[in-house]
């Protein structure tokens, strides 16, 4: 099983650096709300990954084909991300500086559930994530003889590696909070809203123009053949 762990570590690192709404919201949460809030948010993201993994594990390759043949799922997920980005962009207001004895970055335990739900939903609406995990099972499952114990170790190693890398990103982002003025926070959060909306546009485009997206993917594989193995399973705007 040790070889399965070594095979999973690079995938976990790649996952942690896939740019998308979750990636940027995680950095935003760490920089503005602090390490604790970002970790709680990340737990919600991982729970969504676990949910997708369970769905993928107890399904077959037919589910992957169903996802590819149902562009409406991508359009639905993209619409949610676009709506979320627009609403947060409009509702975001400039922050009024508080006295030094008040820290707007700290969260209470009662807010944990909200951050977990936010991370879970922001990841779960991207149906491409399900395709990614299902693709990994189809691609790597046979190499492990579809043995449940090896599969559990493999995917657990991916998630643990991803979480460790995320912790490093959170710590680095947290160091930025001392340099964030109210005006910078305002611009930062509005920029994140725009990025989320753009990720929604990309996801929706995949649903509306699947053939063109496939052609673009083929061109990318021609230039970068090393990504062809996982290109069919890469989620749109994952991390």
Q: Is residue 236 part of a domain?
A: no
What total of structural domains would you count in the chain? 1
Q: Is residue 238 part of a domain?
A: no
Q: Is residue 189 part of a domain?
A: yes
Domain coverage including residue 129: 2-231
Q: Is residue 122 part of a domain?
A: yes
The pLDDT assigned to 166 comes to: 93
Count other Cβ atoms within 10 Å, centred on residue 212: 11
Q: Is residue 112 part of a domain?
A: yes
When pLDDT is averaged across residues 87-101 and rounded to a whole number, the result is 58
Contacts of 28 (CB under 8 A, 6+ apart): 173, 188, 189, 192
pLDDT exceeds cutoff 60 at 220: no
Q: Is residue 237 part of a domain?
A: no
Read off the pLDDT of residues 155-199 as tens digits, 9 standing for 90 and up: 999 999 999 999 999 998 888 766 766 677 677 778 878 887 887
Q: What is the 3-state secondary structure (H, E, C) of 140-204?
A: HCHHHCCCHHHHHHHHHHHHHHHHHHHHHHHHHHHHHHHHCCHHHHHHHHHHHHHHHHHHHHHHH
**Cα separation, 17 vs 8, whole angstroms:** 15
Q: Is residue 186 part of a domain?
A: yes
pLDDT exceeds cutoff 60 at 28: yes
Q: Is residue 239 part of a domain?
A: no
Read off the pLDDT of residues 43-71 as tens digits, 9 standing for 90 and up: 999 999 999 888 878 775 555 555 555 66
């Amino acid at each position: 099983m040790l070889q399965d762990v070594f095979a999973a570590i690079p995938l976990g690192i790649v996952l942690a650096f896939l740019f998308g709404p979750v990636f940027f919201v995680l950095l935003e949460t760490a920089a503005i709300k602090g390490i604790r809030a970002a970790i709680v948010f990340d737990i919600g993201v991982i729970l969504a990954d676990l949910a997708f993994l369970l769905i993928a594990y107890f399904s077959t390759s037919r589910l992957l084909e169903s996802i590819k043949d149902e562009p409406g799922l991508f359009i639905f997920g993209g619409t949610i991300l676009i709506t979320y980005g627009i609403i947060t962009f409009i509702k975001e207001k400039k922050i009024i500086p508080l006295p030094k004895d008040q820290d707007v970055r700290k969260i209470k335990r009662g807010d944990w559930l909200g951050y977990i739900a936010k991370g879970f939903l922001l990841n779960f609406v991207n149906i491409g994530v399900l395709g990614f995990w299902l693709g990994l099972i189809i691609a790597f499952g046979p190499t492990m003889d579809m043995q449940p114990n090896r599969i559990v170790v493999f995917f657990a190693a991916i998630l643990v590696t991803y979480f460790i890398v995320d912790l490093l990103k959170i710590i680095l982002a947290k160091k930025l909070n001392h340099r964030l003025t109210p005006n910078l926070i305002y611009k930062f959060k509005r920029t994140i809203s725009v990025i989320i909306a753009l990720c929604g546009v990309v996801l929706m485009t995949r649903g509306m123009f699947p053939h063109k997206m496939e052609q673009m993917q083929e061109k990318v594989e021609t230039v970068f053949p090393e990504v062809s193995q996982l290109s069919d399973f890469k989620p749109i705007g994952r991390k």
